[in-house]
Amino acid sequence: MPSTLSSLAVLINRSIITLEKACSESKLPFPSFDEPFTPASEAFRANPEAEEAAKVIAAAAHQLMMMVLPPSVALYTAVSGEYKSAALRVCLEANVTEILREGGKEGMHVKEIAERTKVNHKKLARCLRYLATHHVYKEVSPDVFTNNRVSSMMDTGKAVDDLIARPEEKHENTPGLAAIASHHLDEVYKAAGYLWESMSDPATAHSFESNETPFNLGLNVKTSFWETIALPEPIWQFRQRRFHIGMKGIAGLESADAILKAFDWRSLPKESVVVDVGGGIGGSSLVLAKNLPDIKIVVQDKPTVLAEGATALWEREMPEALASGRVTLQAHDFFTPQPIKNASVFFLKQVIHDWPDPYATKILSELRKAARPDTRLIIVDSAIPFACHDPSGDKGKGVIGAVPKEAPEPLLANYGVANELTYAADVTMLIVTNAQERTVKHLGELLQSTGWRMTKIVRDHETGSFMQPVEAVPMVKIPVGDTAE
């Protein structure tokens, strides 16, 4: 039998050949690590073989690294995560990526960078060198640094002089990826250090309240994350704008038409009603409305959310849909009885993962009470895989897509770090809101406890690597009881 080391090496070599062949055949070159990121540079992942090969390479290379390093060093690659985060925040807030972009491909000496950032060049050099050691930025010669593909992800695209003159507007009108990174390196990073304190304190250890979280300890606030970022203080107003811009950046990581693959929308009869529950300003519904002219759409959210952008969005993009009544913007609290009783589809995108089970149960229960026998429930969140092989699968329930594609041996069944975003999102929800991403088993139990039966999970790489639409139908009898934690 070949050793695990040999098996990993074979997987890497075989997958590199597959990746390069797929890129060549599709005429989509594999991007250079020294070139800045552009959306077009990710085009090669549209080829399923290339995408799969890239995931296998990443998972195998990381597993190989952790195996061959001395255990103490391997452990410290995890222990030292806070140093990476701290150094990243220094560079992001000091506009280092934009400074290097303006400095050119040859790079800039750290003294020149520091002169523009107004920080100490010796301290900045240590942060940059540490990050370059982890392949974020590149030290091209002693104390001379330049961007690479990873560091360029933090580029707002703005002129450095403008960023320095108006720092409060740094993330306005940007793609949003720097904004979401800044959010994680600020509020989430500060909250993460208190996870143990929150989990070990008898007062909060078993709490799933949204205002009894590590976020509350780390930021020294009494209100939930959602209430806190709505506070009038300038720092929270800035953080709220940055968060919403960052969420748009995350949404931009998936295909614009991914929502069209979440369900067989064209199977709906004419005049069917689709309710976008907690739909924000209606970005997902806008895609549906443009592609499905024969259905009616109701976008539901809080009055303040609708007022802040929904009307403007629809009047700009599809004014005729509002004027004709084909699209309705409706103020609604999803913890209260659902007013739409004739829905063909209740649609919830990245809603349930924001709430712990007791609250998610309330949301789903209210929808079940309003559902018709033929109503479909579509939840778009992450169906988070176990890190091991799951021999039980869907336990013979015949749920299409319930069993995820597993990585080849000897990789972790969930592809390890290649699926990092899913697990990072799960821990983020734990830290910030006491909520979570859910396994298929957990989600199935949650749905069943609220009168819904899971029937399908859409697992298509084009729907986004970290979200899998889940379809459910009403159960004949609504059960009473608690779901599993």
> Which sequence positions are flagged as catalytic?
353
281 neighbors 309 (Cβ within 8 angstroms) = yes
- The CA distances from residue 299 to 259, 302, 349, in Å, are 15, 10, 12
Using CA atoms, how far apart are residues 375 and 360, in angstroms rounded to an integer? 19
465 neighbors 419 (Cβ within 8 angstroms) = yes
SS3 of residue 256 by DSSP: coil
Backbone dihedral angles phi then psi of residue 471, each to the nearest 5 degrees: -110, 140
SS3 of residue 298 by DSSP: strand
Length, in residues, of the chain = 485
**Is the omega angle on the peptide bond into residue 410 within 30 degrees of 0, that is, cis?**
yes
Using CA atoms, how far apart are residues 41 and 313, in angstroms rounded to an integer? 29
Using CA atoms, how far apart are residues 479 and 206, in angstroms rounded to an integer? 25
272 neighbors 296 (Cβ within 8 angstroms) = yes
The torsion defined by the Cα of 114, 120, 125 and 128, in degrees rounded to 10, comes to -70
156 neighbors 174 (Cβ within 8 angstroms) = yes
Around 126, how many Cα atoms within 13 Å sit in the side-chain half-sphere?
6
**Token reading at 381:** 């969140």
The torsion defined by the Cα of 466, 469, 475 and 479, in degrees rounded to 10, comes to 20
DSSP for residue 166: -
SS3 of residue 297 by DSSP: strand
Using CA atoms, how far apart are residues 122 and 117, in angstroms rounded to an integer? 13
H/E segment holding residue 247: helix 234-251
Using CA atoms, how far apart are residues 246 and 377, in angstroms rounded to an integer? 27
SS3 of residue 371 by DSSP: coil
